[in-house]
Structure 1
Amino acid sequence: MRRFMSADNKGKALLRFMTAAMLLLFTAGVIKAQTEETAEPPRPMTPLQTFLSDPAVNAGSTAVYIAEIGGKVLASHNADTPLLGASTMKLVTIGSLMQVRDVNYRYVTRVMTAGRVVNNVLEGNLHIVGSGDPTLNTDRTPKTPDFVDEIVKALKSRGIKSIRGNVLIDQSIFSGPSRPQTWSSADSRTDYGAGDYGFNYGRNRSGSRAVENPSAVFMARLEKALAANGIALEKVNYTGGGKRLLVEHRSAPLDEIMRSCMMRSDNLYAECLLRQVAIAQGKSGSVADGAESVAQIWSRNKAPMNGVRIYDGSGLSRSDRLTANFLAYVLQMCSSDPYYASFFPLAGAEGTLRSFLRGTRLETYVAMKTGSLHDVQAYAGYCLDEDYAPTHLVVVITNGFKGGRGAFRRAVEKLLLSTL
């Protein structure tokens, strides 16, 4: 027989149910409130995370390393990934040469007479001994005497009115091919891809094209100058000796050549300096010996060389590979040198950084070497204090950006302004 609940009992049951439901809701509200009070708010993105999430930045092909000199690392991403660093290779070449050559070193190109002077006639040859100087007849370093004018004046001072012999140019200080073999044939035809020789003249270029025989350009100018000054050149064979110094042409000091190389991102200068690294250590003046010498210098200095590949001095080779850690190591080692940081263009003021960070608080307080090739943009250098002494290392490299070079540059500016 079914049992029926009285109305009074039904009311009591409903009251108990409603009380339990309200208690449950209250407890849930308290727990929720306590959870909201104790939960940590979302953390803001770091400057590096903001940079890597920028639509212009391809995080997978981008490396970043920013740190205090000898201190705290502020940002690091893909720092051990080998990438094309383009012209940032120049800071490696120059940092290497500074370890084996004094900054006051000067290239010396000598002119010798071979034979004897009889009745104002040099019966013999002019011998020009090339030094690998990349600055002859250029306007990219502090003014030095014009080489052709020096020769003409020296001949006149000796009373020489005629030369019965030849002008011979010794280029043996350099050996091997005139260019790195890893350069493209297209680049090698351009002015920025000109070869470097034991005797260079006029930056080995004519307009926007490379000149394959700069000594011939020099000879044409010398013969014209000799004729204009009443000195005849009768090209006859002479094989005798009796050499005597006629002219000793000295370049600007090495620090000025290095500064010009970095400010103008001069590939010819960089390649000649690379060969000089090898020559200074008693090796042949070949590209291969220069590249090997640079790698050996940094290996001896315990640099992180894993993945680093060096095939030239300028960074034009697409076979080169650098890591952000390696570049930072070079920058760190060279940061105490009183000259090195001064070779880098200042942001907002000089060279390839003329418009970078202009009008910001970091204008002229960041000094960096840039590098650019197709799909490559790189920055490597320093943040500076009021006395222009380095305080921070900065390396940013990408081998593929999403929104174009300008957008990537603006993303790098934001990264530096929010990190330094």
Structure 2
Amino acid sequence: MLSRPALPRPVLPRHALRRACVTAIAALSALAVGTTTATAAGATLSPQDQAMARDLSHRFPGALGAVAGGVVVDVASGQVVWSRNAGEALRPASTSKLATALAALTVLGTRHTESTRVVLSGRTVYLVGGGDQHLTSADLDALAATTASALKARHLTGVTLRVDDSLFPAPALSPGWPSGYYPSEVAPVRALAVVGERVMDTALEAGNIFAAGLRGHGVTTTGAAHATAPRGAVTLAAHTSPSLASEIEYMLKESDNDNAEGFARLTALAEGLPADWQGATRAVRTAMARYGVPLGGVVMYDASGLSQDDRMTPQALTKLASLAVDARYNSELWPIRWGLPVAGVDGTLGPAYGRFTSWPTDCAKGRVDAKTGSLYNAIALAGITRGKDGRWKAFSFVENDEPNLTAARNAEDALAATVEGCM
């Protein structure tokens, strides 16, 4: 896994989490929910799956005012074990990053890398972004050291510095993004950025860090400004990103919004599409269709799931999750499998988030792998686990407009533990 700066994570008190979870389970168990158990035509569920379906029908969230859906399938057979509102278009939040990962891996490939280059034209140095979402300050300092040596060899100790992020168009808010998202939830999407630096102009931030590196290595600059590098500029230095496989794992584990938007734009460019919102989401939808993900009800305005206008259906999310362990696609999609957060262990399902760490869901610790989704009006969980019969199950649970987000998370954790078979 990539080692990247971690942002502080909210930690729920264990006693509060336990109380919320017990309350949620008690409420769900008391509900008589009219769910649908579906199977393939003529197929019969195993006794273990029948028991799971019965338990899910009793525990599925159905409180007044909530809008929710869920689907569980047996991956190998494709058999639907249980579903409710499978085709309901709901806000998926960050579970939609499964689609972004699918598209990037399919189009770009696991070994894809991005290059950040330094080029020279006259006495002007250009720092050229290639879409690397994992560029670090240390990487920029290494670039500065190599660049300084090359400049001194040309008897240049003072240069003009420009940053070139023209690979992507100028940033703009996605439909459904309130301006308050900038820059705490996501930075304006640019082709030049420093990981962990969420600022309004990530390209200038990278340029300033690079300029400081040049000064430290004996080269003065006039300060960074935006400009496009001219054709024919001489390459002085270059940095290659980690492989896309490792970057995708990081994106899914940490639910990194900046990564998701950058990868979708790179995917669009590789497909011959513009690297804007329309091109990026079109590229993702095209990849989804290739794998048979049902697109009815799917509406995408971004690649991170932040948009209030995004919609996914539980059946689409479950299909996406199932691909993580579908043997037919292991060669290209394996980073999704290993990038999914592990219940109670790491990523956005780790202990810092209070997920699967206390009774009654701690029985599924280490046994459920799932992508989380969280907005102020949407909680979702989509992933995989082995059921009581030892076979892979893919699932998704999505709840919108539930004011008690903690209760919704705890309830979805309980449903995932039910699929695993320990509850």
Q: How does 1:247-286 map to 2 (within 5 A)?
A: 247-286=237-276
Partner deviation per Cα, 1:22-48 (whole Å, 9 max, x = no partner): xxxxxxxxxxxxxxxxxxxxxx99212
Q: Percentage identity across aligned positions?
A: 24
1:417 and 2:410 are equivalent in the alignment: no
Aligned to 1:195: 188
1:231 and 2:219 are equivalent in the alignment: yes
Aligned to 2:347: 351
CA contact (8 A) 1:347 1:368 kept: yes
Aligned to 1:118: none
Aligned to 1:370: 372
Instruction: Give me the whole-angstrom Cα distance separating, in 2, the residues matched to 1:88 and 1:242.
Output: 43
CA contact (8 A) 2:140 2:210 kept: no
Q: Match for 1:83: what amino acid?
A: L
Q: Match for 1:186: what amino acid?
A: G
Q: Alpha-carbon deviation of 1:335? A: 2.5
CA contact (8 A) 2:86 2:314 kept: yes
Aligned to 2:39: none
1:162 and 2:156 are equivalent in the alignment: yes
Q: Match for 1:74: what amino acid?
A: V
Q: Match for 2:176: what amino acid?
A: T
Aligned to 1:152: 145
Residues 289 and 176 of structure 1: is their aligned pair in 2 closer, same or farther, counting only changes over 3 Å?
A: farther
Aligned to 1:312: 302
CA contact (8 A) 2:144 2:214 kept: no
2:264 aligns to what SS in structure 1? helix
CA contact (8 A) 2:69 2:314 kept: yes
Instruction: Give me the whole-angstrom Cα distance separating, in 2, the residues matched to 1:312 and 1:326.
Output: 17
Q: Alpha-carbon deviation of 1:229? A: 2.9
Instruction: Give me the whole-angstrom Cα distance separating, in 1, the residues matched to 2:187 and 2:301.
Output: 16
Aligned to 2:81: 74
Instruction: Give me the whole-angstrom Cα distance separating, in 1, the residues matched to 2:97 and 2:394.
Output: 16
Residues 252 and 74 of structure 1: is their aligned pair in 2 closer, same or farther, counting only changes over 3 Å?
A: same
Aligned to 1:405: 405
Gaps of 5+ in 1: 1-43, 116-123, 139-144, 206-210
Q: Alpha-carbon deviation of 1:340? A: 1.9
Q: Alpha-carbon deviation of 1:84? A: 0.2
Q: Alpha-carbon deviation of 1:241? A: 7.5
Residues 390 and 169 of structure 1: is their aligned pair in 2 closer, same or farther, counting only changes over 3 Å?
A: farther
Aligned to 1:49: 57
Q: Alpha-carbon deviation of 1:361? A: 3.6
Partner deviation per Cα, 1:82-120 (whole Å, 9 max, x = no partner): 0001000111100111110111111111111223xxxxx
Aligned to 2:19: none
Q: What TM-score does the superposition give when structure 1 sets the normalisation length?
A: 0.76
Q: Alpha-carbon deviation of 1:198? A: 1.9
1:177 aligns to what SS in structure 2? coil
2:152 aligns to what SS in structure 1? coil
Residues 333 and 240 of structure 1: is their aligned pair in 2 closer, same or farther, counting only changes over 3 Å?
A: closer
Q: What TM-score does the superposition give when structure 2 sets the normalisation length?
A: 0.75
Instruction: Give me the whole-angstrom Cα distance separating, in 2, the residues matched to 1:240 and 1:374.
Output: 45
CA contact (8 A) 1:66 1:392 kept: yes
Instruction: Give me the whole-angstrom Cα distance separating, in 1, the residues matched to 2:67 and 2:222.
Output: 62
Residues 170 and 332 of structure 1: is their aligned pair in 2 closer, same or farther, counting only changes over 3 Å?
A: same
2:107 aligns to what SS in structure 1? coil
CA contact (8 A) 1:87 1:315 kept: yes
Q: Match for 1:63: what amino acid?
A: G
CA contact (8 A) 2:342 2:366 kept: yes
Residues 156 and 300 of structure 1: is their aligned pair in 2 closer, same or farther, counting only changes over 3 Å?
A: closer
Residues 232 and 47 of structure 1: is their aligned pair in 2 closer, same or farther, counting only changes over 3 Å?
A: same
Aligned to 2:31: none
Residues 344 and 77 of structure 1: is their aligned pair in 2 closer, same or farther, counting only changes over 3 Å?
A: same
Partner deviation per Cα, 1:198-245 (whole Å, 9 max, x = no partner): 21134442xxxxx2222322333333333333323368xx99976322
Q: Alpha-carbon deviation of 1:176? A: 4.6
Instruction: Give me the whole-angstrom Cα distance separating, in 2, the residues matched to 1:106 and 1:391.
Output: 32
Instruction: Give me the whole-angstrom Cα distance separating, in 1, the residues matched to 2:58 and 2:65.
Output: 11
CA contact (8 A) 2:125 2:162 kept: yes
Q: Alpha-carbon deviation of 1:158? A: 5.3
Match of 1:111 among 89, 107, 118: 118
CA contact (8 A) 2:162 2:207 kept: no
Partner deviation per Cα, 1:163-222 (whole Å, 9 max, x = no partner): 55422222221125344243111222x3212111121134442xxxxx222232233333
Instruction: Give me the whole-angstrom Cα distance separating, in 2, the residues matched to 1:309 and 1:195.
Output: 21
Instruction: Give me the whole-angstrom Cα distance separating, in 2, the residues matched to 1:385 and 1:114.
Output: 61
- Structure of higher CA gyration radius: 1
CA contact (8 A) 2:260 2:304 kept: yes
Gaps of 5+ in 2: 1-50
Q: Match for 1:154: what amino acid?
A: T
Instruction: Give me the whole-angstrom Cα distance separating, in 1, the residues matched to 2:188 and 2:207.
Output: 18
**RMSD (Å) for aligned C-alpha atoms:** 3.1
Q: Match for 2:402: what amino acid?
A: F
Residues 302 and 146 of structure 1: is their aligned pair in 2 closer, same or farther, counting only changes over 3 Å?
A: closer
Tell me the matched-pair count: 353
2:185 aligns to what SS in structure 1? helix
Instruction: Give me the whole-angstrom Cα distance separating, in 2, the residues matched to 1:241 and 1:407.
Output: 56
Aligned to 1:18: none
Residues 179 and 247 of structure 1: is their aligned pair in 2 closer, same or farther, counting only changes over 3 Å?
A: farther
Instruction: Give me the whole-angstrom Cα distance separating, in 2, the residues matched to 1:176 and 1:217.
Output: 16
1:212 and 2:200 are equivalent in the alignment: yes
Q: Match for 2:179: what amino acid?
A: S
Q: Alpha-carbon deviation of 1:281? A: 1.0
Q: Alpha-carbon deviation of 1:384? A: 4.2
